[in-house]
Amino acid sequence: MDDIVNKTCNISFVLIEYNCIEEIRACVASIHKACLNIEHEIVVSSNSVYPEKKQSELKRQFPEVQWQFNHANLGFAGGMNAGIERTRHGVVVITNPDVRIAENGIMQACDYFLSHEDVGLLGPKIIDAQGFVQDSCRRFMGPLELLSRTRQRIFRKRGVLIDTDFDYSQIQSVDWVIGAFMMIKREALDEVGILDAKYFLYVEDMDLCKRFWDHGWAVTYFPLLEVTYKGDRKSTSALVSGRLLNKYGVHHIRSYFRFLLKNKFRVSRRH
């Protein structure tokens, strides 16, 4: 709390790890490079259930990282929550290990974030390795919108659908941002609560943003902070290729309907 009051951007980064040590290595290097003049800590929450010997080896390889070795694969939300519980700074960033942060932008994001008291959660512009903008911020979707989006992906044979009506160059409030990279105020997180671990995989990010809006905290898209990320989109790859749903698609659909039921099919902002 004191960090927020004093407008000092001290950041706790939480990374999820599942059999991807080389991705962790590259992501940690990216964080250090982007935060040269920012006090920060890095917590890696591992769902890989490594034996004790491997755990000791990783602690030696990454002495600057705090490791949270989970007893089982807790899923994305559960793993992130275990990592968040070990953080101490006023700003918490949850990020996928295959995200790479541009060298400039973090301080601008922090300055904006901490000077706008109503903003509780911020998402960056996300591009892929070729520099193409990704659909990282979206509207809350009711069942009809989801069916329309799925149909477009099937017929266009595309895993990525960019909203052509959305200006990705402008700072603006959005319904929700994807969980690949979220910057969150500790004060807001303490009020709203951590991720809902009942979502094993997918939709936990949309759920979190919905709860932020419900508690009066704004969610903001901030394109001056740019990260590189290309999600594998395993849940939609089968649909795009014309095959039946895979296990990731089943997870996605199950999580989405849980979100609808949890919100009694009211999926618009309250704020």
Q: What is the pLDDT along the chain (271 residues), one digit of tens a residue?
A: 344 434 678 999 999 999 999 999 999 999 999 999 899 999 999 999 999 999 999 999 999 999 999 999 999 999 999 999 999 999 999 999 999 999 889 999 999 999 999 999 999 999 998 999 998 998 887 766 666 656 555 545 444 545 668 899 999 999 999 999 999 999 999 999 999 999 988 899 999 999 999 999 999 999 999 999 976 555 444 444 444 466 766 777 888 889 888 988 878 776 5
**What φ, ψ does residue 65 adopt, rounded to 5°?**
-105, 140
Judge whether 242 lies within some domain. no
CATH of the domain at 61: 3.90.550.10
| 7 DSSP assignment | T
Judge whether 249 lies within some domain. no
> Can you give the residue range of the structural domain that contains 105?
2-140+163-231
Cβ atoms of 82 and 16 closer than 8 Å = no
The DSSP bridge pattern shows strands 40-46 and 100-101 to be: unpaired
How far apart, in whole angstroms, are the C-alpha atoms of residue 269 and residue 195?
Answer: 18
- Total domain count, the chain: 1
Judge whether 131 lies within some domain. yes
The pTM (predicted TM-score) of the whole model is 0.86
Judge whether 151 lies within some domain. no
Judge whether 259 lies within some domain. no
Judge whether 146 lies within some domain. no
How far apart, in whole angstroms, are the C-alpha atoms of residue 114 and residue 153?
Answer: 38
Given the structure tokens 């000092």, which residue do they identify? 8
Of the candidates 206, 204, 211, 172, which has an alpha carbon nearest to the alpha carbon of residue 188?
Answer: 211
How far apart, in whole angstroms, are the C-alpha atoms of residue 42 and residue 50?
Answer: 19
Judge whether 132 lies within some domain. yes
C-alpha distance from residue 57 to each of 16, 18, 51, 61 (Å)? 18, 16, 10, 6
How far apart, in whole angstroms, are the C-alpha atoms of residue 41 and residue 6?
Answer: 19
Judge whether 148 lies within some domain. no
